[in-house]
Amino acid sequence: MNEINSSLYIEVAVPFPVYNTYIYKVPEQYADLIAPGSRVFVPFGSKRTTGYVLGFAKAKEFKGKILSILDLLDSKPIFPKNMIPFFKWASDYYIYPIGEAIKSALPKKVDFYEQTFFSITNAGKEFIKTEENFSAQKKILESLIKKDLTIKGLRAKFGDSAPASLLYSIEKKGFVKKYSKIKGKSSFKRRIKKDRLGEKIIRDAPYPLTKEQASVIESINSSLFNGFKTFLLAGVTGSGKTEVYMNIAAKTIEKGLSVILMVPEISLISQIERRFKARFGETVAVLHSSLAAGERYFEWMKILNKEAKIAIGARSALFAPFENLGAIIVDEEHDTSYKDSGGFGYNAKDLASVRAKLANAIAILGSATPSVASYYNVISEKYEGLYLKNRIKKRVLPNVEIVDMRQKKDLKGIKKFITSELKLAIADNLKIKKQTLLFLNRRGFANLSICAQCASPLRCKRCDISLTLHQKDNIYRCHLCGYFQSVNAVCNVCGSNSIKKLGFGTEKIEAAINSLFSNAKTIRIDKDTTKKKGSLVRLLKKIKNKKADIIIGTQMIAKGHDFPDITLAGIICADISLNFPDFRAGEQTFQLLAQVAGRAGRGDLKGRVILQTFNPDHFAILSAKEQDFIKFYNQDIVFRKGLNYPPFSRLIQIKIEGKDKKKALQTAYNIGELCKDLTGKKAKNSIEILGPVESPIAKIASMFRWQILIKGTNSSTLRRFANKLFFDNQKAFKVSGIKTTIDVDPIFMM
């Protein structure tokens, strides 16, 4: 019989920066076991690597020598076959190598797989005694007396004189026995019965729905098993969105389908996880990055083995290996942490709709402050909009009072930022023994230390951003790369030792509050106080147990938590993020402020918010005051349309970084020229090239940074353009010592 025809061939993706897939031959002994979604061990160039089986292939179409796989790493696929078109779509859209895309979708740091070990049998031992020839067979058997080994291990020892086929023939003779063992499995405790604050999770039952909830559920339900659709659930904070998610999840499970629930990264101890576990118990799998490797493996297997019907996690939960998906829910859909900032650069919120579509499922995006892009999709009838306008139990939204900081110019220093209005409100709140939250937007806050002589700011030598004073440690620190300088540092422009501090951080606010309210217990939640593992949980526990009267915090505290005793929220300076060089600055400011305001008054008492700002008339501030996202949208969309920003256009950003300044600039310039050539020839009117320009943060960790922004009115024209640019000019992109990244639909453009 013709050998070619009887052989089995597979298509394999390898985790390397390559955009093709590769064909391998499958030795006979693996033929019955191999399936799409399995991992194989393959030779690749001069290396050997894990690869992912994407399907079976025909050898005829390939010229040249086809290599055989070296080993099969799983006896069962580690992701279902029907996820392969999804991986292909994502890899294509984000112009990212498919093997690397799959690798980053699988639980990280866990090189887990079922390994096949060989052990010698008594017959094998007898054979060695009688066999006089010094054969490869004998060598292998002798080494197995000392220790059981895998094919990989045997190969490491004997090289190619121990081919898999020889082993399998020895096995057939009965000299060795195969067994499997899981690699990467470690011991760990299950967390299902306690939440992350260590409190018991008691099973609960659904609430009787409110009229609004019932009507929203009715709309979703009517299309739940009717093919793909995306819903945007816009519901004010505390309007019962989570109860809606749980209701839909229950219905989906009833039909034998499964559910993915995504939550933003920050919610380490998200309330929602606790509530889902209370409602659904053992059937919930959790895919957090905070889990230990063994735990993550365990949760992944629970899904694969169909013991879990619901997967909850941050953006990587998008890749939960469900074969029969019914619904994907994205909570806090406006949150930018759904965008991966690594190489893959996928947006899990956008991909939620794609995966749902390929699985014929539904996607639900929920938020109190929906993103402009998502609401635009409702307006243009791509999504169906659903609304929860009232808080549960008729709890009213907090009352937001705006304090105009422009009137406070005469006050000096830090105290200027604790206005008399805020001070009074805190005092009142302390009197009724309720908790106060003070919020400072640290992101981008210019905690500027400047030279009194020449006014130059103290900057990080590597990152070109200003350093922040850390009083406790007596140092100035760079928040991007960690570089630090002693407080005794002199100005690196003129050498003067008179450095003055403008601006301030949470530490300063805490000190000021302590001096103003010496009897109050304060705690601070920011990057510095939560560095140690478990410290955030400890601080949150303190809030929950009322061991703190005043909580001073950053973004970390803005979302996902539900503390009923916080009745006052003070926003120290609402404007900070408004000044970012980014077209989403207004949107992100609005969302952040509305979310912080939403933290107040979650219990039975009405909440109060003091919002201090230098821009009391800005529409982002005014819409946040009213927690009215449509009001914000209606103004922001006009600005976006005027400047042809998304959602009216799509963006692809090329980032060029390198330690060699000249080389980085030259690479950026070369790619820029290629862009211009290509626009000249093609798609002239619909593609616009911005740059190359130095990035707003021109240097991070000694890397000089440049960027080119490609703007396209039509998504597919833009993608074709980017593909052509990249794949026809690989040389221009692959420059030694220079990192080029293609960011499709960029969000972090600094």
Q: Are the beta carbons of 453 and 494 closer than 8 angstroms?
A: yes
Amino acid making up residue 127 = F
**Residue 454 CB, nearest approach to Zn ion (Å):** 3
Residue 451 DSSP SS3: strand
| Whole-number Cα distances in Å, 720 to 353, 728, 733 | 22, 12, 17
462 binds, among ligand ADP, Zn ion, none (CB under 5 to 8 A by kind): Zn ion
**Residue 339 CB, nearest approach to Zn ion (Å):** 23
Determine if 35 is a binding residue for Zn ion (CB under 5 A): no
Beta strands (DSSP E) in 331-411 are: 362-367, 384-388, 399-404
**Residue 339 CB, nearest approach to ligand ADP (Å):** 22
Tell me whether strands 310-313 and 284-287 are parallel, antiparallel or unpaired.
parallel
Q: Are the beta carbons of 701 and 693 closer than 8 angstroms?
A: no
Determine if 478 is a binding residue for Zn ion (CB under 5 A): yes
Report the residue from 128, 414, 481, 698 that binds Zn ion according to the rule CB under 5 A.
Answer: 481
Whole-angstrom distance, CA of residue 271 vs CA of residue 720:
43
- CA-wise closest residue to 312 among 246, 400, 220: 246
Q: Are the beta carbons of 435 and 549 closer than 8 angstroms?
A: yes
Alpha-helix runs per DSSP H in 545-628: 585-598, 619-625
426 versus 460: smaller Cβ distance to Zn ion: 460
Please report how many Cα atoms fall inside a 13 Å half-sphere around the Cα of residue 161, on the Cβ side: 10
Size of the site for Zn ion (CB under 5 A): 15
Please give the structure tokens belonging to residue 247. 């209701």
**Residue 114 CB, nearest approach to ligand ADP (Å):** 40
241 binds, among Zn ion, ligand ADP, none (CB under 5 to 8 A by kind): ligand ADP
494 binds, among Zn ion, ligand ADP, none (CB under 5 to 8 A by kind): Zn ion
Please report how many Cα atoms fall inside a 13 Å half-sphere around the Cα of residue 270, on the Cβ side: 23
14 versus 437: smaller Cβ distance to ligand ADP: 437
Amino acid making up residue 559 = K
Region 485-524 residues binding Zn ion, contact defined as CB under 5 A: 491, 493-494, 496
Please give the structure tokens belonging to residue 617. 């008339």
242 binds, among Zn ion, ligand ADP, none (CB under 5 to 8 A by kind): ligand ADP
496 binds, among ligand ADP, Zn ion, none (CB under 5 to 8 A by kind): Zn ion
DSSP code per residue over 608-653: EEEEEES-TT-HHHHHHHTT-HHHHHHHHHHHHHHTT-TTSSEEEE
711 binds, among ligand ADP, Zn ion, none (CB under 5 to 8 A by kind): none
**Residue 626 CB, nearest approach to ligand ADP (Å):** 17
487 binds, among ligand ADP, Zn ion, none (CB under 5 to 8 A by kind): none
Return the biggest CA–CA distance within the chain.
100
SS3 labels along 193-220:
CECCCCCECCCCCCCCCCHHHHHHHHHH
Determine if 453 is a binding residue for Zn ion (CB under 5 A): yes
51 versus 238: smaller Cβ distance to ligand ADP: 238
479 versus 561: smaller Cβ distance to ligand ADP: 561
Phi, psi values for residue 672, rounded to 5°: -60, -45
**Residue 492 CB, nearest approach to Zn ion (Å):** 8
**Residue 538 CB, nearest approach to ligand ADP (Å):** 24
**Residue 246 CB, nearest approach to ligand ADP (Å):** 8
| Whole-number Cα distances in Å, 693 to 661, 669, 690, 749 | 13, 9, 8, 12
288 binds, among ligand ADP, Zn ion, none (CB under 5 to 8 A by kind): none
Q: Are the beta carbons of 664 and 658 closer than 8 angstroms?
A: yes
Report the residue from 103, 125, 274, 462 that binds Zn ion according to the rule CB under 5 A.
Answer: 462
120 versus 236: smaller Cβ distance to ligand ADP: 236
240 versus 601: smaller Cβ distance to ligand ADP: 240
451 binds, among ligand ADP, Zn ion, none (CB under 5 to 8 A by kind): Zn ion
- Site of interaction with ligand ADP (CB under 6 A): 207-210, 213, 235, 237-243, 392
Report the residue from 463, 578, 654, 709 that binds Zn ion according to the rule CB under 5 A.
Answer: 463
Rama region for 260: left / alpha / beta (φ>0; ψ in -120 to 50; rest):
beta
**Residue 591 CB, nearest approach to ligand ADP (Å):** 15
207 versus 748: smaller Cβ distance to ligand ADP: 207
50 versus 213: smaller Cβ distance to ligand ADP: 213
Q: What angle do CA 199, 201, 207 make, to 5 degrees?
A: 130
Q: Are the beta carbons of 445 and 503 closer than 8 angstroms?
A: yes
239 binds, among Zn ion, ligand ADP, none (CB under 5 to 8 A by kind): ligand ADP
Phi, psi values for residue 3, rounded to 5°: -65, -45
349 versus 559: smaller Cβ distance to ligand ADP: 559
**Residue 322 CB, nearest approach to ligand ADP (Å):** 24
Write the CB contacts of 436 (distance below 8 Å, at least 6 apart in sequence).
425, 426, 429, 430, 549, 550, 551, 566, 567, 568, 569, 570
**Residue 375 CB, nearest approach to ligand ADP (Å):** 17
Q: Sketch the per residue contact string, 149 through 168, with Zn ion: x for CB under 5 A, - otherwise.
A: --------------------
266 versus 710: smaller Cβ distance to ligand ADP: 266
Please give the structure tokens belonging to residue 709. 């922004």
391 versus 640: smaller Cβ distance to ligand ADP: 391
Q: Are the beta carbons of 329 and 302 closer than 8 angstroms?
A: no
556 binds, among Zn ion, ligand ADP, none (CB under 5 to 8 A by kind): none
- CA-wise closest residue to 6 among 23, 25, 33, 24: 25
Determine if 454 is a binding residue for Zn ion (CB under 5 A): yes
137 versus 242: smaller Cβ distance to ligand ADP: 242
CA 196 to chain centre: 20
302 versus 699: smaller Cβ distance to Zn ion: 699
96 versus 563: smaller Cβ distance to ligand ADP: 563
Examine residue 208 and say whether the peptide bond preceding it is cis (omega within 30 degrees of 0). no
Residues at the interface with Zn ion (CB under 5 A): 451, 453-454, 456, 460, 462-463, 478, 480-481, 483, 491, 493-494, 496
